[in-house]
Copies of this chain bind each other. A is one copy, B any other.
Amino acid sequence: MSDTNRQATFRGYGRSLPMALLRARDTVMNRFRPILRSHDVTEQQFRILRALTTAKELRAVDVSKMTLLSPPSLSRTIKGLEGRKLITRRIEKEDQRAFMLSITKKGAALVALIGQQSEAEYLDIEGRIGSKKMDQLHRLLSEVEEKI
C-alpha cells in the first residue's frame, strides 16, 4: 500500500517500531539459534545462564527482570537447568521468600563455549553493519528503554 492512499490514522507496516524491532531481532537470532540448538539450550535458558555469569549470585526476581522472563516461566525453566546441573539455588537467609541462583562450573563452561562460537557471528555482523553504526544502534536502543 502506498504512503499516500493509506488511511491517515493507520501507521504503515514499515513504520511500526515493535514490528521493526521484532524483525531485526529475528534476523539476528537466525545466526545464533543453530549454535544454541547444537548445545541443547533454548533461548530462554541461555538468557538465564548468561545473566548468572554477571554475578556470583542473583536473586530470582532480579534474573526475571534481566532476562524479561515472567516469574512463572523462570520458575519452570530453572527446574530444567537445575536438573542438568547448570545452576544451583539456595534460600536467602535474610529473606526466606527469596531464592539465590548461581551458575555452576559446568554452566559457566557451557556459556563460555557458546559465547566463543557466537563471537564469530557477532564479528561478522559488526563487519556487515560497521562498528560505528552498531554503536549508534545500541545507543538508540538504550535511549528507547530509558526515555519510554
User: A: which residues have CB within 8 A of B?
Assistant: 1, 6-7, 9-11, 13-32, 47, 50-51, 53-55, 66, 68, 111-112, 115-116, 118-119, 122, 125, 128-129, 133-134, 136-138, 140-145, 147-148
Contacts and interface: CB of A to CB of B under 8 A. Distances in A.
* Interface SS, A side: helix
Contact of A129 (B24, B136, B147): B147
Given A11-B122, A119-B11, A1 B148 contact: no
B28 A21 contact: yes
A27 B137 CA distance: 16
Contact of A26 (B29, B68, B111, B143): B68
B138 A136 contact: no
Given A21-B21, A25-B18, A148-B125, A7 B112 contact: yes
Contacts of A11: 115, 118-119, 122
Interface centre among A10, A13, A17, A50 (most CB of B within 10 A): A17
Nearest to A23: B145
A141 B29 contact: no
A119 B116 CA distance: 43
A9 B112 CA distance: 7
